[in-house]
Each structure stands twice: as structure tokens, then as C-alpha cells.
Structure 1
């Protein structure tokens, strides 16, 4: 049996998961930018003897402290998934935020991880990062999973619903709008692509809540004269996402650092040719020729996109290899089996 417990930040009841599970939500409290729940802690205390494993996904949150404390007091197996959030280069400068995270790691996060029965890393890169910052607990490398769409949406229909021209070449970024995602580099790379593909359209799908960075991106689009060629969709829900992927010709993710972005795996699952920066840590997929890994400069990115867009058949084959790769390497049945083995050790 599995239960999902989470904090409810917006007061809206949780949706049922595809497997039929409905998350149990608890009211949250905030302290110095981190989150925890008194009621969740009380409910957890009532589970003594009723649970075999508690698996937490709350890096830099006091929820991890609650889980670690429960594990120590009750001898219950605890596991943690940092999801790439402990990459040292994300807090390696001398900014106040980085110093705060370094202190929190040393005093709270790393001791919690080291007291756990195990820690899950999404890749060997993340495993090495965790070792580098002092994690000594057993580390299990298990990637993220993704569902392969059972029904493909027709591109023509998807574009009609989204108001996209049938003859446009669509470059897509879908994800959280944050500076580390390097969306400004994607925009600059897109300018280079348009030199040989004037019908190109860049779609940016993500909420516009990061006010300062969004303003910088808007200014860059205006500076480059791309207002008619860059379209913001805003936040995309699960119902709309199939249309967004199906309407696209290529997907680009240029992040400075990712554990393993679900948007990348989702793009591959739709058979969309996918281009990623090295900071996305998709080297294994790149070696299997399932994605194209490019350098961190917008010139490299733009040249790679232009070259591949000039070869439609090669682009189609890339998308097919990506879809086959995630079907083989990122299916949930395999990933669940790997996690069960770790839980039972």
C-alpha cells in the first residue's frame, strides 16, 4: 500500500493521480523560507508500527527534518530524493542565498541524509555531487520516469486549438521560468535560427511569476525585434500539455543545472526531437543518440538547431530514438521495481 502526503499551499483539494491515489494534504507553516506542518507531524507520529518506509522529496524544507526525526525515533526506514537540488554549483558563490544554503546543508540537510537508510540520485552525475558535499549514506541511482502517451494528438488539430500557423516551425521551451533555465540563451539562439528559418516560432510555456527575469526576457525579445516570433503561453496544465508538445517541431532546454527535468522526458515521450545543455545531465541519452547535447553558448545552440532543422528526416529519426529511449529506460514499472529493491535492502 502507498500513501502520498503533501502540504497544501493553495487550499485547493488535490487531484487523483493516474494510479488512483489521492494525496492527503496538510496545512503548512513557514519558517525562514522553509515549510513544515504540525498536523503532518502529528499524523506521522500515529503511524508508528503501521509503515515500513517513509520517502521524502523536500530538499531545503523542514519537512525533511520531520521525516528524519520520525525515522530516528521509531527506527523506520527513511529515504530522501534531492532531485538535483544539491548540485554544488547552485550555491557556490558568495551571495546571501548561497551562504544560507551552504549553512543549511551543513547543519541540517546533510546530517538528515546521512542518517537515512538511503538516498536516491537521478543520475551518476548527481551521485557524484552528493558525495562531493559529504553525503555518506547509501546512494541508489534511479532516474525519473514518464508515461508514454497512449494516443498521439494530431499536429494540425493541436495547432488549430493553440492558434499556431500550420506552416510554422515551432521551437518549444516548457518549464519553470527561472534564471537558471537560461531562457535568455534560448531566445538568442532562436534569433540565429530565424536567419535561415524565418517562419520559425518560439513558444515559451511557463508561468510568468518570476517578475524581474520575465521583464528581462521581454526586453530581450523587444531588443532583438522578435515580438511577432516569440509567444508566451503562460502556465500549461496537464490537459493542455499534449497539444503543446504535439504542436511543436523541436524542444529546447538549456538549464544551468537539472536533476532530470520531467519536461525533457515528456518531450522525448511525444517523439519531439529534443536539444539539451550539458547542465541537464542527459549525457547517457545523448550517447544513445536519443537527444542532442549542446554547449552552453547560444551560438552553439543556434547552430545545432539550424543544422538539424535543415535535415527533416534526421530530425524525425532523432525524435523516434528519443521516444524509444524513454520507453526502455524511463518506464515506471522498471523504476518502481528498482525503488522496491532499495526499500527492501
Structure 2
């Protein structure tokens, strides 16, 4: 098959952007399985990040964002894709591409990346609801199918009438191990303590960070530390730091700023438990990455709607986003031995290896492409040496 993955904005797959990670790994693995794959991005920066076996091209934006540049239109015609896979929601350029594809009778699908959640719709609802009915829902309902990484009920509630298929995100399980000393030498106050770790943008609303901070303080764990790793989100860092100071927890809760690559992997190596208390997620790469690194997780149902974290087996689940419920889970972790946590970490990694590799995800996406293009299914090689 000839497949185009389409995105908007700078394409840097190593950064904290789940959409770009999905495009990178899906495209790479599609190419490794013998398909012709291209990534087209609307971005005024001509620089691109290479993907093995994949053609990656950036196209300039236009003054009228709904329109397509002549260069992009010509590239779409020349490439003659069997299907175009659009990524993300609430982007007028994606709608413009979808309508161009409709006019030229080229099939397409859309991955929403969990952006149809009811809580997200409440943010700037006065913009999102008109956009939903005037722009987004019409082109969603002309797709071959909608791909959802989280709860398909979100799509149905949104008003999607075409088929909705759920395929989760994947993760690279062939992870380079990094010594925890790289992280602990940088933050020596965390040494010889039970370490709880959060990685993600510091969005107090979606990520439930205020609940996590208050619960950690309430649990009263003097020999534990909570490290919050991630970039500021619209000035939230100062708000969260003020809360920590008010609670008298400045020695036990630290903010490291964003960490990437080896620095992030070293933080995961140092962690005893990964904490993710979101109100909602599509399919959290942070939890997948922690589990792949053998770290048990303390999560809320909203952070892990797929149920990857099995309570008492691969981590701890708070059934509600309340300080009391999360406090209870922190106290459960405090009662666990290091050996028990290590066993949970092993279980977490096994769950990822058995269910969430990029080969599994890619093969399922190929099956769906062929299903809706009415092409015969194919058998895929079991050799994973080229797949990650």
C-alpha cells in the first residue's frame, strides 16, 4: 500500500508529543513491513526529522489556513496514496486536507488522539462547539473510519457516525538502560528515598497534579519523595510551587523541569513508582514508557482508561480523582516492600511486551486500512528485528 501520514506543526518525535511519537513509530514500522510511506507536515520550517524508509516532507502554510499550498496539492497528486491518515483534532488545516481528499476521491482516516473527551470539550467551549458542527464533525463523518486510541464512546458521544476502531498506542520495548546515577547525582536530595515520579506537562487541570500533591502531603511519608518532571504549562509551575510551599512540602516534592532522552530514562531507572493522576487521557505514552521500563504505576481511572495497570499486580489504581482515594493508594505503596514493587514492575513490563508493541499496533492498522479499502488481508512476518 501507499500510505501518507499527515500532521500539522513541527515534527520532532523525540519530544514530549504523543502525536508525533505515533506518526514516527507507525510510519517506520509500516515501511519496515514493505509499504510505501510518506509523512507530510504543514510547517514553515523546511528542516525535517528523518525516519528510516520513509519520505518526510514539510510544506508551507497558507494565509488562509483552510487552504492547501500548491506544493502540497501537487505532492498529494503525484504520490497517489491508497489512503491518507490524518492526525489530531481541532486543526483547520487537517479539515482543509480532508475536503481536498474528498474532492479527489482519495480515502482517508483520522486519529483523534483522545481529543474528543468531554472534559477537553469544556475548554473554550464557545469555540469548540461551533467548530465541531461547522468543520470537524462533517469531515470526520466522511472518513473511511475514525481511529481512537482511548474510549470509543467519546467518538460516539461526539456525533461520529462512521465506524470507529480502537487501536492503542505502542511503545518501543527495546529500551536502552540508563544508570539511575545520572538523575540522582543531579538531584542528590532524592537519594536513599522511596521515589514517586511524574513525567508530563505540568497541567494542573488535566493531569490532576493538585490532587497528587495534596494526597502525597496527606499520606505523611517522610522517607519518600515526589519528583514532578515536565515543562511549565501556561504559568502553572508557580501555582504548583506555591501549593507545595503552603503545604510545607518543599523538601519532599521537587520540580525538575523537563527531561528528555537519557535524562528521562535515568529518572525512570531511579523511580520506585510512577504516578499519573489525570482526569482524562487518550492512551498515555508516559504510563506505557514507565511500564516498559519496569516501573509499577499509581494511576487514576482517567489516566489509564485501557486498564493497563492491574491493581495489586502491576501497580495501584485510584477509582476516583479525589485526594482521599489517591492518599489511600500512596499509603498502600508505602506498605509494600522493595521486592513487592520490583515484582509489580516486572509484571508491568510483561503486560507491555505482550500487548503494546509497535509491531502489534502497526499490523492492526494495516488490517484496518485493508478492511476499509476492501483489499485482501495479508500475513505479516514474525521477525521483529526491524520493528521497534
TM-score (norm 1): 0.88
Structure 1 residue matching 2:195: 3-state secondary structure: strand
Distance 1:27 1:143 in 2: 31
Deviations 1:236-274 (A, max 9, x none): 222322112111111111111110111111111111111
Name the residue aligned to 2:234.
210
Q: Quick check: 1:27–1:37 contact (8 Å CA) kept in 2?
A: no
Alpha carbons of structure 1 residues 149 and 232: separation in structure 2 relative to 1, 3 Å: farther
Which residue, 39, 51, 62 being the options, matches 1:4? 39
Q: CA deviation at 1:205?
A: 1.0
Q: Quick check: 2:180–2:267 contact (8 Å CA) kept in 1?
A: no
Which residue, 65, 80, 85 being the options, matches 2:110? 80
Structure 2 residue matching 1:2: 3-state secondary structure: strand
Alpha carbons of structure 1 residues 249 and 16: separation in structure 2 relative to 1, 3 Å: farther
Q: Quick check: 1:127–1:139 contact (8 Å CA) kept in 2?
A: yes
Q: Which moved more, 1:332-341 or 1:235-244?
A: 235-244
Name the residue aligned to 1:47.
76
Name the residue aligned to 1:298.
323
Alpha carbons of structure 1 residues 221 and 51: separation in structure 2 relative to 1, 3 Å: same
* C-alpha RMSD of the superposition: 2.4
Q: Quick check: 2:216–2:327 contact (8 Å CA) kept in 1?
A: yes
Which residue, 216, 235, 254 being the options, matches 1:231? 254
Structure 2 residue matching 1:146: 3-state secondary structure: coil
Name the residue aligned to 2:184.
159
Name the residue aligned to 2:365.
339
Q: Does 1:71 align with 2:71?
A: no
Structure 1 residue matching 2:366: 3-state secondary structure: helix
Distance 1:242 1:81 in 2: 28
Name the residue aligned to 2:92.
62
TM-score (norm 2): 0.79
Gaps of 5+ in 2: 1-35, 372-388
Q: CA deviation at 1:316?
A: 1.8
Q: Quick check: 1:248–1:272 contact (8 Å CA) kept in 2?
A: yes
Q: Does 1:26 align with 2:59?
A: yes
Q: Give matches, 1:71-220, under 5 Å.
A: 71-92=101-122, 97-123=124-150, 126-178=151-203, 179-193=205-219, 195=220, 197-211=221-235, 213-220=236-243
